[in-house]
Structure 1
Amino acid sequence: MTDAGGPVADHDDPAADDGVPDLWRGLDLPGLADVHVHFLPPRLLDRIWSYFDAAGPLVGTEWPIRYKWTEDERVAHLRAMGVRAFSALAYAHKPGMAADLNRWTLDFARRTPECLPSATFFPEPGVLDYVRDAIDAGARLFKVHLQVGGFAPTDPALDPVWGLLTEAGVPAVVHAGHAPVGTAHTGPEPFAELLARHPALPAIVAHLGAPDYLPFLALAERYDRVALDTTMAFTSFFERFVPFPAAERPRLRDLGLAGKVLLGSDFPNLPYPYAEQLAGLVRLDLGADWLRAVCWHNAAALFDLPSA
């Protein structure tokens, strides 16, 4: 395929992880920036992996995790693929755990230079204080999982938190969509209500908002600081359940070129090679400039990443 940014050859569709560097080198990028990567305390991560292994109610399908490796092995693999910036998204599913998770993830970022300092929160007493503490400690990205957390984004306890993130300009990756299993608080309507209250909120909608792609595309078009991440979208695993409508690819291209689509993967919790995420983006045939924007430039602008 070609565009104003030059050709993207067939071999740039990586079939395996060791081919990932060929993609970003072929695009003349310094590497990849992935805003949807999970690093968590080992005991919690083990419990999450067990939940996926059991195809728990919020998973809803067989999900054999490919990268059940040690923390050091997972960091080394990201580095080997050229992922030069990545998050450490943790998420609280009950009261009393978010502040401890933030201490762990922020410490992980201090000892992992490529990691964007990441944090989370839950609607509970004291939430504003520990979110402010996390920002003061350097947090540059938050994760909110409405499906797993089981709370509404408009919970009154969170109203001052969203206001603080807006004022500080710190984005939150929000799992707002119904996929893989919807709950009372997922879907475009609760998130749209949140944005109506906080129209300047910097937010990144995980998984492109799947399966409700169209209303989440519309929200990203309407609100200046709302973006989308590509996590799991366009992979063969995800497309069998919630295929992205081909007719909407021009809108996706426009949003990506406008800085509003960012690479996300869900590493390490993947039932397929990391390379499949990138191969799916290449197969969209939206052009080299779009791939450059999504794989690096949009996150680089948002997080002021070094260019070399």
Structure 2
Amino acid sequence: MTGTGTGAETDAGAEAEEVRRFWRRLGLPGIVDVHTHFMPERVMRKVWDYFDGVGPMTGGLEWPITYRTEEVERLALIREFGVRAFTAMLYPHKPGMAQWLNGWAVDFAARTPDCLHTSTLFPEPGVETYVREALDAGARVFKAHVQVGAYDPASELLDPAWGLLSEAGTPIVIHCGSGPAPGKHTGPEPIARVLARHPRLRLVVAHMGMPEYEDFLDLAGRYGEVRLDTTMAFTDFAERLAPFPRRALPRLADLGDRVLLGTDFPNIPYPYIRQLQALEGLGFGEDWLRAVCHDNGARLFGL
């Protein structure tokens, strides 16, 4: 079983088989999940404590952690699902924290070869230096969390770092939408200012930009390197919180080459399979599902 009684428990073996049936039926070699969380254990426990408290980041909803297990068990399960590449989305909430997290990430990537080496950043003196160091150490993806960090992504302090990442072609998964609760600098406008300066920045907008879905679809239409990840979107949980507008579904179907599977594993209040079922339920067809659940991520990261 997964879970501890405070999370939503599932039968891990049965669910893993269901996930494998999903991607095998599509003729895929597995799944690429660009939005999963692995962090230093004491940081992860604090994140779980926050969700247990039903704070602003949960949108006031109860948020039981489905996969509240030790790191080794979480790794075993995501591999049993058939996720052939995943990330260690980690993020600072204050200055001086990002470089420490990046140091942990180097070690985690070295002992976890199927994890795409993930780094992070914060608007602070020295950010350009440690972003360059992370790239030199092999970072393949960055995570930015505008809501938790409570910073302006268009800050001049970040401008040299965005320039480095743009030049390197390194993707950045960025939580910049105003869901599940707005922050001072969330929403499309700050990101539009970043992209105006760095139009080739490979931003992957987390959660489809929830709830400003259409605004972020507009940015993806304007900038060819902007992508969207599916994290939590279209699930029953997210639809209660911030439903995706039905009128925008044709635009999403047409953008299938720049939509990437993300799930938020392990910090989700439902079983992993539900994200896949929610995407299938959109009715966009198997080609779209193959692209989103594997091929787009495989191409972006050269797998």
User: TM-score, length-normalised on structure 2?
Assistant: 0.94
Distance 1:274 1:82 in 2: 12
Structure 1 position 56, deviation (Å)? 1.7
Structure 1 position 17, deviation (Å)? 4.0
Structure 1 position 59, deviation (Å)? 2.2
Give the structure, 1 or 2, with the largest relative contact order (CA under 8 Å, sep 6 or more): 1
- The corresponding residue for 1:10 is none
- The corresponding residue for 1:99 is 99
The Cα RMSD (Å) is: 1.0
2:160 maps to a residue whose letter is P
Distance 2:140 2:106 in 1: 10
Structure 1 position 62, deviation (Å)? 1.2
Distance 1:230 1:47 in 2: 25
- The corresponding residue for 2:189 is 189
SS at match of 1:285: coil
Structure 1 position 18, deviation (Å)? 2.9
Distance 2:273 2:15 in 1: 5
Task: Give every structure 1 segment of 4 or more consecutive aligned residues whose post-TM-superposition deviation is greater than 4 Å.
Answer: none
- The corresponding residue for 2:292 is 294
Distance 2:105 2:267 in 1: 17
Distance 1:57 1:202 in 2: 29
- The corresponding residue for 2:5 is none
Distance 2:16 2:77 in 1: 9
2:56 maps to a residue whose letter is P
Asked if the contact 1:98–1:122 (Cα under 8 Å) also holds between the matched residues in 2, the reply is: yes
Asked if the contact 1:203–1:227 (Cα under 8 Å) also holds between the matched residues in 2, the reply is: yes
- The corresponding residue for 2:155 is 155
Aligned positions of 1:215-230 closer than 5 A? 215-230=215-230
Distance 2:16 2:30 in 1: 14
2:217 maps to a residue whose letter is L
Residues 91-125 of structure 1 deviation map (CA, whole Å, 9 limit, x = unaligned): 01001111110111121111111100000000111
Aligned positions of 1:103-118 closer than 5 A? 103-118=103-118
2:94 maps to a residue whose letter is K
1:281 maps to a residue whose letter is L
Structure 1 position 247, deviation (Å)? 2.0
Segments of structure 2 that go 5 or more residues without pairing to the other structure are 1-13
- The corresponding residue for 2:169 is 169
Distance 2:280 2:15 in 1: 14
- The corresponding residue for 2:274 is 276
1:211 maps to a residue whose letter is P
Residues 211-258 of structure 1 deviation map (CA, whole Å, 9 limit, x = unaligned): 0110101111110110000000010111111111122111111111xx
Residues 69-102 of structure 1 deviation map (CA, whole Å, 9 limit, x = unaligned): 1001000001101000000010010011111101
Question: How many residues matched?
Answer: 289
Distance 1:70 1:16 in 2: 18
Residues 29-55 of structure 1 deviation map (CA, whole Å, 9 limit, x = unaligned): 000000000000000110110000001
- The corresponding residue for 1:201 is 201
Distance 1:283 1:72 in 2: 32
Distance 1:69 1:225 in 2: 36
Instruction: Please tell me whether residue 34 in structure 1 is matched to residue 33 in structure 2.
Output: yes
Asked if the contact 1:16–1:276 (Cα under 8 Å) also holds between the matched residues in 2, the reply is: no
